[in-house]
Structure 1
Amino acid sequence: MVEQAVRPVAEVIAAKAPDGWTDAVLHCQGGRDGASLSGGYRCGDGSWRSGLPRLWSELRSLTEALSQDHGWEAMSLELRTRPSGEYRLVASDDAVHRVTGTGRGFRAVLDPGHRLTRPGMRQEPGTAGPAGDPELAVARFRAYLERRSAVLGHPEELPPPATEDAIAGTEARLGRRLPADLRALYKIADGDHTDLGPRYLFQGNTWLSLEYLVKASTGYGAAEQPWSGWGLEWDAVILDADPAETVRRCGGHPGWLRFASGEDGNYLAVDTAPARHGRPGQVIRTGRDHNRGPGYVADSVTTLLGHYLELLDQGAYATEDDYIELLEPGRARGRRPDSGSLPDDIPPGLQSIHVIDATGPVDLAPLGAARSLRRVHLNRAATADLTPVRELPVESLRVTLDGGDLTPLAGHPHLASLELATTAPADLTPLRTAPRLHGLDLAEAEVAELAVLSELGGLRYLSLTRRQWDALLNEDRTPPALAAACLTDTDSTLDEALAWAARLGLDTGRAFRLTGTLENGAG
């Protein structure tokens, strides 16, 4: 029962409280995979001490009791405790939850099934034919094995070849045909893993058997990019590969067939659904470290094997414990490190830039040289003129506007998210004609007329202060298609957040509330 489970939590909080405390607050999000914990103690001098004692076992019992009583698979709860021994629990499903980490306030998920469309799903498909050559791939692979054997002083053991039936069965399970050159390699060996372990033939990646190719290509996060929640997704940008427009800008795609693994969540894949400048069968990098942009490797497995032969010929390898490591410098992604000003040289391929703590207004004009720029974030930095952004494919813009206006963003064909702070009231009217704008954070902005937001039919995410939300809701001018919203005031309680979410149309009637008093007080 919840009543019995909440008391031990309050007891531990009270027992571990610092001298002079006046109240304590615990925020928790719990579910099958565990619980997150934040909160702390407020003291009589007005100071705040973050951090609470370890409560994992007590919280597990409490969340299990709430789940059993209310049927919640995931939940959000707030427990407030006072030195008198009084405590109050508020709990609900996790449609409304406290924002943790670098965020603030509360977030409400109004449409839990909605997902933002990945840019790659809208890209024009490639029309070129494959670059791979199965006969040449086989010849290069055999030559590659021979040269590796010469380096190691012995041939490397590989699994038996895959049968035609096994390959056809794999393709049936995938719903896609393997590129002809990779298909031909499987008729030499079914991957590179034997009872002795993998040989890591693909530059530190183990070549997967057909069985594991299917598992890796159809498992979680492979065919579709995992959803990381609105806090990360509302202004996320997926960068383009290099060369541009070769690989779809997705974190995962059903046309990416993972054939080699770095055993760290990253993979080499053959791409059977390239973007307009790509070729079917091209080799790309995807997986854990590529959710924000795939990497281009080669136009085919055939070409990749030729590159491996060149590295061996150049002596660009090292050996250790009977393994060969091919060596080459990594490619630089189109991103500049954080800085307090724009760099003197803006490379044409730059896709993302962060400017932090600029000493004066930032002139964005030099960014005009970066014709592929997707993300511009000015953190604790301001600009007076957004005109340079007008002609750039910027999708995510974070900026403090120092007296300027939003007119340059009118009709912007790419802008998807805007986090705006202002030094003077801003007119949101130009945003009405930005066709792809789906996310907006105005918590640090003074806005001349919030009612304009009701005309943003494509807006899916909105972050405002309590004052701003009240003004919008009192006029019944909420954007019509919101899927998630944020209440940014850090002093808001879960009760207040539930009331706010109810005004947005979320059913919060199943929220649970419980008050009690520790038998001997908090002392």
Structure 2
Amino acid sequence: MIDRRPPLSSLYEFAPWGPVLRLLLAGYPEIRPDGSARVAGRIGRTGWSLWLPGGMSSERPAAVEHVQRALARGGVEEVAFSAEIQPTGRTTLRLVWPCPAVEPAIGYPDLGVLVLVDGSVPEPWRRLPDPVPGAVPAPSVDLELLERTLREQMPDAIGATEEEIAAAEARLGVTLPDELKVFYRVTRARWEDWGDNYEAADRTSTAGDYDACDLESLNSVEPGTRHSCWNLDGKDAVVTPPDAAVQGLAGSPGWIVFGSNGGDEIAVDLTPGPGGHLGQVILVDHERSLGAELVADSFTDLVLGRTREQPRGRHEGLPAVAEVGGDGDGDLATVRAAAHPALEVLSIAAGDGAPFSLAPLTGLPRLRTLTADPGTLADPLEIAELTGLEFLELGPQEWRVLLDAGAVPRSLSAAAVRERGQDRGTVVAVANELLALWNRPLIEETVLEGELLPEA
């Protein structure tokens, strides 16, 4: 255990934490058989994850504000904490400080995900577009109508030269669709062409209902520009159905962004799905990390207002993703029922049945993520036979078995120690052993003891 104290002196005393812990005790504490209670949470400089009375409150309590001010003074983004509170009021409080090798959990007070390989991302963010040798432009493409409509809409626009268009293609490494070339021959969409005449600049920098960018700002959607996290996206899978217009990707060198609506990006698609058209127009939602939505079959349709929608090429069900056990209506009863050559992600939830064997998973070619609640595995050492895992989430006892046997899969890029209902000290100790195997920075923890007495 490492105890490093950043300049947060007020948070290294037990008393300032008392109001936060009392709030949590009044909410949804975990009560142990011996009458002790466990609470946990995360507080960051701009947000918090606390199960308060009435649920996840959007109003910031004064106790949380005090912690946030201390974090801001110390230049620390957030602190995760847990507390064991005895019936006598005797309390052990554990503070876990940010670690560059830990990706914080989203929406939970858990420790987070251990990033064992620096810079690694889940497989969907490494997925390249499938070839589309038979893709053709939509029948609605009409270059003459498009140019005539654009010139009527922007009679005073200044067009780009052929040399400027060729330079953009060379920079992007693609041949722009003819429709997009027509657009930029009509207007090069440069605001600086109009000085202080903002009305003219706005009028000559639009494509349908979207603000267009100039040629120098055209860019492709790189997966790294979209948010990804192992805790959520490592448990997701991307599948492009046979009739999908858009491939279910985080990004593609063929998604050429030419504008936005102020938040989302609008792009022409040179790598469409099997049901799409070359040069179709898609929307890349800034609030989503995977996939894109069809807006129009062609740029011509976009300018003429003939837009339509098709759900993004994304699928989160069998056979790529499966859950075994638990009490949900859609859960499978056995691991064997989930075993399928296309299975990528398997979650095993605690239920009333006996622990599961992982033997049916051996040899599955695409299995990359396994998560299992504590106590759900008949033999954790069977994990050693799953040679393609990149993300593994287990309880501390299951990790202990693998660590003691030297059987932690070396194929992993990320891992998590399932914390809900587990002792935070044990979780941190196991997590640091895993980080040490990959020579990653260790988690720093501070332990405080105090009395959580009733308020006067």
Shorter chain as denominator, the TM-score bin is 0.7 to 0.9
Q: Give the letter aligned to residue 262 of structure 2.
A: E
Bigger share in strand: 1
Q: Which runs of 5+ in 1 are unaligned?
A: 42-46, 68-73, 147-154, 309-325, 336-350, 354-366, 368-372, 384-398
Matched, 1:78 2:78: no
| 2:327 pairs with one of 380, 403, 422 | 380
SS in 2 for 1:251: coil
| 1:142 pairs with one of 148, 151, 166 | 148
Matched, 1:65 2:74: yes
Matched, 1:464 2:411: no
Shift of 1:84: 7.8
| 1:295 pairs with one of 278, 285, 293 | 293
Matched, 1:232 2:232: yes
Distance 1:185 1:64, change over 3 A: same
Percentage of pairs with the same residue: 23
Q: How does 1:366-445 map to 2 (within 5 A)?
A: 380-382=327-329, 399-401=331-333, 405-410=334-339, 412-421=340-349, 423-443=353-373
- Counterparts of 1:429 and 1:134 in 2: how far apart (Å)? 53
Matched, 1:37 2:51: no
- Counterparts of 1:115 and 1:128 in 2: how far apart (Å)? 31
Matching residue of 2:381: 451
- Counterparts of 1:90 and 1:291 in 2: how far apart (Å)? 28
Q: Give the letter aligned to residue 259 of structure 1.
A: F
Q: Give the letter aligned to residue 161 of structure 1.
A: G
Shift of 1:105: 5.9
Shift of 1:9: 7.5
Shift of 1:186: 0.8
| TM-score, with structure 1 as normaliser | 0.65
Matching residue of 1:173: 171
Matched-pair contact (CA < 8 Å) for 1:205–1:261: yes
Aligned residue-pair number: 422
Q: Give the letter aligned to residue 107 of structure 1.
A: V
Matched-pair contact (CA < 8 Å) for 1:182–1:301: yes
Distance 1:478 1:440, change over 3 A: same
Distance 1:382 1:85, change over 3 A: closer
- Counterparts of 2:149 and 2:202 in 1: how far apart (Å)? 19
SS in 1 for 2:412: coil
Shift of 1:270: 1.5
Q: How does 1:43-442 map to 2 (within 5 A)?
A: 53-56=62-65, 58-62=67-71, 65=74, 76-78=79-81, 89-96=95-102, 99-101=105-107, 104=110, 106-118=112-124, 121-128=127-134, 130-131=136-137, 136-143=142-149, 146=152, 159-191=157-189, 195-196=198-199, 198=202, 202-211=207-216, 213-214=217-218, 217=219, 222=222, 224=224, 226-240=226-240, 243-244=243-244, 247-265=246-264, 267-274=265-272, 280-289=278-287, 291-298=289-296, 300-302=298-300, 304=302, 308=304, 326=305, 330-331=309-310, 351-352=315-316, 380-382=327-329, 399-401=331-333, 405-410=334-339, 412-421=340-349, 423-442=353-372
Distance 1:6 1:62, change over 3 A: farther
Shift of 1:455: 1.4
SS in 2 for 1:497: helix
Question: RMSD in angstroms over aligned alpha carbons?
Answer: 4.5
Q: Deviations over 1:163-189 (max 9, x none)?
A: 233323333433333222211221111
Q: Which runs of 5+ in 2 are unaligned?
A: 27-35, 192-196
Matched-pair contact (CA < 8 Å) for 2:113–2:416: yes
Distance 1:274 1:90, change over 3 A: closer
Q: Which has the higher contact order (CA 8 A, sep 6+)?
A: 2
SS in 1 for 2:146: helix
Matched-pair contact (CA < 8 Å) for 2:236–2:316: no
